């Protein structure tokens, strides 16, 4: 079920009304849980079983882990949850990829191996809810938190529909306390939540799908014909599209949850106004980058073993982070490039004492623009269909070629959206979006909301799925 | 603080309603009428209706000629049958759709099959054109998609603001040129019935196809087609379903193109003789031959009610007269 569909509007209205009834807190949480499973079953009903499996395994494992003291047995039990969650992810998401690479390896060794056709359907959101469920068990294992007291609360934590299929990846210590007792939803929360839902849909439907996606698709679907202007505009269009698509989803998720009285963590904070790459990863898909930091980078040793070790840990984390996005070497390369940027930035900063410039200096603006350009060019590996396509686009970015794909209208649209995006993110760089929303005069807020809703209404009618659903 | 958000949302919703109503009214004043657009999804829903209940409904398959020309309600009035289900698809051959119904033992009804020579007898036109995609969509459609389609088509059938001509890029591209979008000639309803405005500009929509690649399939191709359709008819009859083939009225450039590329004696006559089901050519029925499609192949909304009443009478006569019904 897509946020940008009438079905979701009807579904959410029903869930919201039931949630507002003066019934017991347990009943209202059960309503949210049933709604969450219904939401997930809208894609493929049998896959609800995978969600249950992940929930049940982590519920029992965490309970046992908490009561055990023997380190060996605790490690063995942790292995169970790792195998369960990563096994699900490995089979459904990487099964075909592994088989394909194994076949290539066999052929390289001169062995004619022909695997059976692997028609594995990827359950939507599996990367998100397995990581979320896993983080709970890991927190209990590391004694950072206690297991949940109520199975209903834990099941709702894993399956809560606003963030189930594309995050934010919520930590149990942030969510479970919210389940303990009912908290009335204030008019302020309702107002901000509904506004976030509307602005999130505006980002997705109007900016990502209507204004940017057609140009990005046109260029990346015919890369050999792309001239330099096409390549730059197509890459900029995708850079904007993926931000508005994913940020729009996250905003909708946070807004929908807020309308139901739950607070989810922020997932984006003006990433295209970042000063450097470590700053970028503190602002882009924050819930994933902090997950990778806490459960991968730090357990690997973090920066405790010196510069070389820290660099290796960064690279491992970013390569795995890249692979998390999709079962393709293109995503690994994308992650590897970001890893190398981060390592290079660390080296420069530490050896030459280079720090991000302070104040509103020209150097800061130049630094932010440089970061944006490198991040945008790197998206090419994320969006292109093949390595060859990515290389062709990058060559067109560098070597001047006549453009034939995008017309003046598309170029102007992408240019204007990009400039406004960068200016808006620069303005909000050190600010909180929700706080800024409340600083706007109420009537101006009404005009902005009405404009967003009307634009959504006249936007082209295809209900496109969110890009991150495939991950 | 809380009042602030109540005010904000109250004014925002008021603005949306006022601007939305004004927008809707302005386009309606320019002649726009609601029309649904999600054809593939609606087709899947209608296809499901064909086998719902006792599965003994009346189904229409073929191209835009029957999609625009056969109005289910009017045909039902004339025949006393159940209201037909519209499964015709623009530019498409009925072969795959007939085979699909023939392979479905839940279907026990009647299929009205469109015989548009430029499509059915065209050696160039791929038989799987469009319909294969529709069938694949139907086979993989999720319940949530069907429900969403139902909701979307409900909205689209009441409001013009969701028309493709008035949404997104299309509208802005037109406005940038300093023009206003022209009211659409075609209106599709939620049951996939196309209504064509009463005064379309005279044109021959298929003329380019006739000139650009249409070619008669020849005797061998026609024999293979008849054999393929007869095989489907055998399977259809095995679950007590039946079919009738109808060639709709044509005129002008389209009629000339079809007469040139698919001479009646080489195609229609051979087809009608070889097919193991009743075949009606509107040119042969006096009460149907008088209808002249202004654009060459599509009857307008002003013509269809009367045409369907006449077609209904012919169909009843044909199907209820044993000699004419043939092997049915």
Contact A6 B15 (CB under 8 A): no
CA atoms within 13 A on the CB side of B321: 9
Chain A's closest residue to B176, CA to CA, is A409
Contact B5 A188 (CB under 8 A): yes
Q: Is A325 a catalytic residue?
A: yes
Contact B15 A187 (CB under 8 A): no
- Name the catalytic one among A19, A269, A285, A325: A325
Contact A187 B167 (CB under 8 A): no
A382 touches chain B (CB under 8 A): no
A214 touches chain B (CB under 8 A): yes
d(CA A1, CA A11): 9
What was the pLDDT predicted at A271? 96
What was the pLDDT predicted at B192? 86
Contact A445 B12 (CB under 8 A): yes
Residues in chain A: 471
Chain A residue numbers touching B24 (CB-CB < 8 A): none
Return the structure tokens found at A35: 């709604």
Query: What is this structure's pTM?
Result: 0.85
Chain B residue numbers touching A44 (CB-CB < 8 A): 142
Chain Cα centroid distance, residue A2: 16
What was the pLDDT predicted at B204? 46
Per-residue pLDDT of chain B (328 residues; tens, 9 = 90+): 467 899 999 999 999 999 999 999 999 998 888 888 878 889 999 999 888 877 788 999 999 899 999 999 999 999 999 999 999 998 889 999 999 999 999 999 999 999 999 889 987 766 666 788 899 888 888 888 888 888 888 888 899 888 888 877 778 878 888 888 888 778 888 888 888 876 545 544 444 444 456 677 888 899 999 999 999 999 999 999 999 999 999 998 888 888 998 999 999 999 999 999 999 999 999 999 999 998 888 899 889 999 999 999 999 999 886 555 544 4
Radius of gyration of chain A (CA): 23
What is the number of other CB atoms lying within 10 angstroms of the CB of residue B315? 22
What lies within 8 Å, CB to CB, of A296 at 6+ separation is: A316, A317, A320
**Closest in A6, A188, A409 to B148, CB measured:** A6
Chain A's closest residue to B147, CA to CA, is A7
d(CA A275, CA A447): 33
CA atoms within 13 A on the CB side of A100: 11
What was the pLDDT predicted at B205? 47
Secondary structure of B123-179 in HEC code, one letter for each residue: CCCCCCCCHHHHHHHHHHCCHHHHHHHHHHHHHHCCCCCCCHHHCHHHHHHHHHCCC
Question: Phi/psi at B247 (nearest 5 deg)?
Answer: -100, 115
Contact B166 A214 (CB under 8 A): no
Gap from A46 CA to chain B (nearest CA, Å): 12
Give the strand pairing for B186-188 and B194-196: antiparallel
> Both ends of chain B: CA-CA distance in Å?
75
Chain B's closest residue to A442, CA to CA, is B8
A442 touches chain B (CB under 8 A): yes
d(CA A21, CA A24): 9
Gap from A152 CA to chain B (nearest CA, Å): 26
Chain A residue numbers touching B188 (CB-CB < 8 A): none
Tell me which residues of chain A have a pLDDT lower than 50. Answer: none
Question: Phi/psi at B159 (nearest 5 deg)?
Answer: -125, 145
* Contact between residue A260 and residue A169 where contact means Cβ atoms under 8 Å apart: no
What number is the ipTM of this complex? 0.84
d(CA A103, CA A177): 48
A461 touches chain B (CB under 8 A): yes
A106 touches chain B (CB under 8 A): no
Q: What is the DSSP string of A49-74?
A: HHHHHHHHHHHHHHHHHHH---HHHH
What was the pLDDT predicted at B278? 95
């Amino acid at each position: 079920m897509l946020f940008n569909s009438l079905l979701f509007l009807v579904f959410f209205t029903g869930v919201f009304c039931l949630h507002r009834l003066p019934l017991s807190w347990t009943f209202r949480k059960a309503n949210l849980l049933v709604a969450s499973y219904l939401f997930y079953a809208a894609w493929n009903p049998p896959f609800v079983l995978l969600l249950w499996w992940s929930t049940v395994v982590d519920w029992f494992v965490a309970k046992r882990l908490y009561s055990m003291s023997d380190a060996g047995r605790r490690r063995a039990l942790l292995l169970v949850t790792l195998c369960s969650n990563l096994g699900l992810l490995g089979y459904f998401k990487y099964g075909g990829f592994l088989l394909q690479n194994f076949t290539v390896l066999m052929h390289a060794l001169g062995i004619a191996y022909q695997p059976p056709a692997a028609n594995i359907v990827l359950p939507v959101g599996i990367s998100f809810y397995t990581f979320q469920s896993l983080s709970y068990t890991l927190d209990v294992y590391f004694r950072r938190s206690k297991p949940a007291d109520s199975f209903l609360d834990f099941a709702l934590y894993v399956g809560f529909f606003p963030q189930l299929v594309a995050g934010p990846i919520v930590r149990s210590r942030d969510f479970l306390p919210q389940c303990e007792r009912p908290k009335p939803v204030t008019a302020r929360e309702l107002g901000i939540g509904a506004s976030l839902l509307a602005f999130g849909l505006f980002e997705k439907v109007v900016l990502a799908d209507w204004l940017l996606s057609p140009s990005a698709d046109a260029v990346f679907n015919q890369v050999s014909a792309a001239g330099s202007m096409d390549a730059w505009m197509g890459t900029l269009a995708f850079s904007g599209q993926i931000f508005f698509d994913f940020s729009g989803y996250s905003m909708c998720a946070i807004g929908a949850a807020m309308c139901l009285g739950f607070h989810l963590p922020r997932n984006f904070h003006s990433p295209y106004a970042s000063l450097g790459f470590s700053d970028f990863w503190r602002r882009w898909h924050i819930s994933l980058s902090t997950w990778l930091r806490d459960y991968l980078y730090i357990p690997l040793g973090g920066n405790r073993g010196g510069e070389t070790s820290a660099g290796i840990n960064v690279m491992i984390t970013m390569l795995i982070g890249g692979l998390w996005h999709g079962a393709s070497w293109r995503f690994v390369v994308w992650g590897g490039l970001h890893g190398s940027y981060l390592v290079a930035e660390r080296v420069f900063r530490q050896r030459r004492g280079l720090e991000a410039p302070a104040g509103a200096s020209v150097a800061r603006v130049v630094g932010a623009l440089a970061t944006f350009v490198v991040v945008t060019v790197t998206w090419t590996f994320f969006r292109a269909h093949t390595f060859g396509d990515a290389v062709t686009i990058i060559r067109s970015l560098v070597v001047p070629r006549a453009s034939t794909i995008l017309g003046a209208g598309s170029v102007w649209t992408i240019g204007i959206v990009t400039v406004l995006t960068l200016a808006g993110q620069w303005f909000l760089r050190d600010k909180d979006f929700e706080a800024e929303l409340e600083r706007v005069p109420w009537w101006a807020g009404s005009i902005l909301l009405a404009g967003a809703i009307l634009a959504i209404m006249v936007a082209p009618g295809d209900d496109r799925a969110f890009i991150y659903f495939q991950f | 603080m809380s009042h602030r958000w109540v005010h904000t949302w109250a004014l925002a919703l008021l603005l949306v309603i006022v601007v939305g109503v004004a927008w809707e009214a302005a386009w309606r004043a320019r002649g726009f009428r609601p029309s649904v657009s999600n054809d593939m999804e609606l087709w899947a829903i209608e296809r499901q209706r064909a086998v719902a209940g006792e599965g003994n409904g009346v189904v229409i398959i073929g191209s835009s000629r029957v999609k625009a020309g056969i109005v289910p309600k009017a045909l039902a009035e004339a025949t006393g049958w159940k209201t037909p289900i519209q499964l015709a698809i623009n530019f498409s051959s009925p072969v795959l759709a007939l085979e699909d119904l023939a392979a479905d033992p839940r279907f026990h009804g009647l299929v009205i099959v469109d015989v548009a020579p430029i499509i059915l007898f065209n050696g160039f036109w791929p038989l799987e054109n469009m319909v294969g995609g529709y069938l694949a969509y139907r086979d993989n459609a999720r319940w949530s998609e069907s429900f969403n389609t139902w909701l979307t088509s409900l909205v689209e059938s009441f409001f013009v603001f969701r028309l493709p001509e008035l949404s997104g890029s299309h509208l802005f591209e037109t406005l940038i040129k300093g023009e206003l979008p022209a009211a659409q000639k075609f209106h599709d309803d939620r049951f996939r019935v196309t209504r064509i405005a009463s005064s379309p500009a005279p044109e021959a929509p298929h003329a380019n196809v006739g000139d650009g690649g249409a070619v008669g399939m020849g005797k061998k191709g026609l024999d293979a087609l008849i054999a393929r359709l007869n095989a489907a008819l055998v399977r259809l009859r095995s679950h007590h379903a039946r079919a009738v083939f109808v060639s709709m009225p044509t005129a002008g450039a389209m009629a000339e193109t079809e007469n040139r590329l698919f001479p009646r004696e080489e195609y229609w006559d051979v087809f009608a003789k070889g097919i193991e089901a009743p075949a009606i050519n509107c040119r042969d029925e006096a009460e149907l031959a008088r209808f002249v499609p202004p654009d060459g192949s599509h009857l307008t909304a002003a013509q269809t009610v009367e045409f369907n009443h006449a077609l209904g009478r012919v169909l009843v006569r044909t199907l209820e007269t044993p000699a004419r019904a043939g092997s049915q």
